[in-house]
Amino acid sequence: MNVYRSALLTSMTATGALLAAAMPTLALETEPFMEKLEAAMEADHTALTYGQARVEGDSIVLSDVTFDITNGESYRFESMTFDGVSETDGGGYSVDQVRTPDIEIEREKVRVVVADITVDGLQIPATPSTDPSDLDGQLLYERAHMGPITVDHQEAQLLRADEFVMDIARKSETKGFDSMVRLEGIFLNLEAIEDPKARAALDTLGYSTLTGRASINASWDMEAGDIELSDYTIDLNEVGQMSILIGLSGYTTEMAAQFEEIGARMTEATEEADGQAMLALLEQLTLNSASIRFDDDGVTGKLLDYFGSQQGVGGEEMAMAVSGMLPLFLGRLQNPAFQQQVSTAVSAFLADPQSLAIRADPQEPLPLTTLFETGSTAPQTLPDVLDVTVSAND
């Protein structure tokens, strides 16, 4: 019996010694983690400072956190928790989720509260890079979430959004990203509008509040320089849905780096000059296609009734009157074929408000410099240059 007890004790002692020897390599340490995170933030034009850092299991908790951006903007958090921290094979770190306490800001009787702030799938590079094409050297994440978000003024809620979510995924077949943004549960309190004329008009239209949602889907092929905005939609209940799609070329990683640099340094004093610099960069892009579509959910009929009542007629009569005046207004375009296309589509929409769409699909990709020059020298030819089509109720 003593032999078995002795063997057991010897085994336990040896096992304990092995675990103790292994612990230093397995234990999570704050210093190397923070060094990598600070270096990655610095490469992103942001200085990170904090009060204390401590380890709780596989989490690292920071206190008194401040992010100072080179353009003078600053963001402060009481604490920040990094859950599920592990070192990657390359010497960087992966974090399952980053959490912060709710944010509350109050200025001039306006109170903003942002709750449930999280970032999932954070990747901290081993060697940060300022080159946007070096994806392995970037500070990346898979999902950002916040909400509800509320804005109150003197105890009255002005705005609310139940949830904001941004998902970002690296492309598998080429270098680039796919992203999706959702803003759910939008609420706007129109009764808070102080202008009496605007308030009276909204009351007549029957809008005391607005509710809805918004979404954006986009992709960037970094190697080809192509950006595709496949969905930019604002959908308001009992108003309508506005959707914008656009395809651009020429947005290279070099241009992205220039935009990032300008944005990081931009201040109120340099806003005009930096804005012009950004505009000059945009002129290097090429337009492949673009479209705007509106699907009515009641606002067109309400507007026709409202403006018709001011003229002493009903909504249907107002629609006919507007259709009759369209040729006169459109004559300024000095493009008879396009004028007829617009007049036919708008008249059909006003008679039966369902949808109205405008699409530009040039036969060849159109440099924005050409677009701007044509718009200033021969605007009447733009519909032909862009190959614009206007349609209703399709």
Phi, psi of 327 (to 5 degrees): -55, -35
Distance between CA atoms of residues 146 and 113, nearest Å: 10
Residue 23 has pLDDT above 50, yes or no: no
* Residue 11's pLDDT band (cuts 50, 70, 90): very low
Percent of the chain beyond pLDDT 70? Answer: 92
* Residue 13's pLDDT band (cuts 50, 70, 90): very low
Q: Which of 36, 117, 12 is CA-nearest to residue 75?
A: 117
Q: Which of the residue ranges 101-105, 289-293, 376-380, 383-387 has the most confident prediction, judged by mean pLDDT?
A: 289-293
Per-residue pLDDT, averaged over 90-108, amounts to: 92
Instruction: Catalogue the long-range contacts made by 98-103 (C-beta closer than 8 Å, 24 or more residues apart).
Output: 98/122, 100/65, 101/77, 103/77
Residue 104 has pLDDT above 70, yes or no: yes
Report pLDDT digits (tens) over 55-98.
Answer: 999 999 999 999 988 777 888 899 999 999 999 988 999 999 99
Q: What is the number of H-type helices and E-type strands within the chain?
A: 10, 20
CA 161 to chain centre: 14
> Which helix (H) or strand (E) segment is 86 a member of?
strand 74-87
Distance between CA atoms of residues 342 and 323, nearest Å: 11
Report pLDDT digits (tens) over 226-272.
Answer: 999 999 999 999 999 999 999 999 998 888 888 877 877 777 677 77
Enumerate the domain spans of the chain: 27-146, 312-394
Residue 3 has pLDDT above 60, yes or no: no
Per-residue pLDDT, averaged over 333-344, amounts to: 92
Report pLDDT digits (tens) over 196-227.
Answer: 999 999 999 999 999 999 999 999 999 889 99
Report pLDDT digits (tens) over 375-389.
Answer: 889 989 999 999 999
Q: CB–CB of 151/160 below 8 Å?
A: yes
Per-residue pLDDT, averaged over 102-109, amounts to: 88
pLDDT at 27: 66
Of residues 284 and 145, which shows the higher confidence score?
A: 145
Per-residue pLDDT, averaged over 101-108, amounts to: 88
Residue 35 has pLDDT above 70, yes or no: yes
pLDDT at 284: 84
**0.75 exceeded by pTM:** yes
